[in-house]
Amino acid sequence: MGKLRSLASQTAVYGISSILGRLLNYALVPLHTQVFPDSEDLGVVTGLYAYVAILMVIYTFGMETAFFRFATKDKLSTTFNTTSTAVVAVSTLFSALILLFATEIAIAIGYPNASTLIVWLAIILWIDSILAIPFARLRLENKARLFATAKMLNIIINVGLQILFLMAIPFLISNQWPGYSFIESVYNSNLGIGYIFLANLIANALLIPMLWKSVSKIRIRVERDKLKPILIYAFPILITGVAGMFNEQLDKILLEQLLPDDFYDNLTSTGAVGVYGQTFKLSIFMMLAIQAFRYAGEPFFFSNARDPEAPDLFARVMHYFVLLSLLILVLVSINVDLIGFIFLRNPEYRLALYLVPILLLGKFFYGIYINLSIWFKLTDKTAYGMYFSIAGALVTIVGNLILIPLIGYLGCAITSVLCYGSMTLFCYFKGQKHYPIPYNFKVLLPYFLVSCTLIAMSMLLEYGDFVIDSIARIFISIIIVIAIYFLEKPRLIKN
């Protein structure tokens, strides 16, 4: 139980910081939906960041997971320098190419006026990638508080700068505060959504001095005998990551390409991407749990892999992870109208709130897959992760191609469930043959069925008054939390 407590403690540090940081970051959603009432503007932001997410996987090409694997087998400093050198070389090359061909890239992806934004994103990608291994080292060395503090400060600076650029400065100029003429001379009111990317760039650049102690430890080393096995291990993870990002982001790209402009009243295809993108962000509550678990879980699994009791330990980890994820699924789904009202200030962006439970269910299966996937990372059979992710990508492509023209962004949400559900099943059955772990899903199945029933019943709960309805749903949520606590208390005491 001590190891589980340690994992829970590390996850809590990552989780609390991620939740606070994301809540701060999510404070931008009302700001964005108010400052940019035209959903096409945020559709461009959503589209560009979808490409960035995919590129970030290519920039780091599996080196973070490879670092964890080889740092526990080889000398830490050697693995750190080897993986860092590889990432710095690849990221510098790719960012240089993007900088050279920014205009051509902007035209090719359908945003001809976004060449400046693409230049900034190339720099953001370069900074994020060279910091990836130093951040991974902090996780391996159990420096969760330093890791979390840096991430939090990054988000606070990003949020603060966006509030400054999008709200405070326009307010000062419009009200002609002292010194406004100088501010007006350097402030480009036509930049619009560009200030979102500029704030991101400045905040990420400031991470380098924050983590200078870790970054300064990097020594550029090219040792073929060390690099070759790392690359062999990491290559399938790269393919896995790219396919995974396609699963995560391709729906937003295909939605704009496949959706007829007259499918929704008063919404173009780009506007629909803006609405879907903001609705998609409400699934962040599940992603926070998954992200916190990954930050703490990867080094935990690798560190305990040689323990004879590791399979039983990993099974208990899965049990509590699923319970927490189901709790998030139910609580967010029950209170989605209230959450949407708080964060999506423009009613236009609340048109697709009915998608949130479906999107959360997809993320729920993704979280289980992340937990299951440890078997092929520990057994050096990372090629299986590539196979599962490619299978998921095929489901994503086919599902979106078929469903988007028929049912719009509902098709994107349903496809995400099909994608991650199929990946989870493939990974589980194959994993039990190569690295058996005694997962007890029979105990968890009733929780899952009850959760789905509660969500379905909550859709019928309607008092006609938003305030009364919201209070009732909060009260029901509290009862659910208390019930799970007392149901699981005997198991916790036994463990």
Q: What pLDDT digit, counting tens, does each position of 348-361 carry?
A: 777 788 889 999 99
Does the pLDDT value for residue 491 go beyond 70? Answer: no
Provide the pLDDT for residue 38.
67
Does the pLDDT value for residue 1 go beyond 70? Answer: no
Cβ proximity of 275 and 347 under 8 Å: no
For 367, counting Cβ atoms within 10 Å of its Cβ (0-12 exposed, 13-18 middle, 19+ buried), the class is buried
In this prediction, residue 248 has a pLDDT band, given cuts at 50, 70 and 90, of confident
Q: What pLDDT digit, counting tens, does each position of 77-126 carry?
A: 888 889 999 999 999 999 999 999 999 999 988 888 889 999 999 999 99
Provide the pLDDT for residue 474.
85
Provide the pLDDT for residue 492.
60
Higher pLDDT pick, 447 / 270: 447
Does the pLDDT value for residue 422 go beyond 80? Answer: yes
Higher pLDDT pick, 10 / 334: 334
In this prediction, residue 383 has a pLDDT band, given cuts at 50, 70 and 90, of confident
Give whichever of 116-125, 274-283, 284-293 has the largest mean pLDDT: 116-125
Q: Determine the Cα angle at 149 with ends 3 and 245, to 5°.
A: 80
Provide the pLDDT for residue 18.
57
3-state class (DSSP) for residue 283? helix
With the CA atoms of 44, 45, 50 and 53 taken in that order, what torsion angle do they form, in degrees rounded to the nearest 10? Answer: 150
Does the pLDDT value for residue 285 go beyond 80? Answer: no
SS (H, E, C) 144-197: HHHHHHHHHHHHHHHHHHHHHHHHHHHHHHHCCCCCHHHHHHHCCCCCCCHHHH
Does the pLDDT value for residue 494 go beyond 70? Answer: no
Cβ proximity of 250 and 396 under 8 Å: yes
Does the pLDDT value for residue 465 go beyond 90? Answer: no
Q: What pLDDT digit, counting tens, does each position of 125-149 carry?
A: 999 999 999 988 887 887 878 888 8
In this prediction, residue 26 has a pLDDT band, given cuts at 50, 70 and 90, of low
Average pLDDT score, the chain: 82
Cβ proximity of 124 and 205 under 8 Å: no
Provide the pLDDT for residue 402.
93
Higher pLDDT pick, 167 / 349: 167
**Distance from the first to the final alpha carbon of the chain:** 6
> Does the pTM of the predicted model rise above 0.75?
no
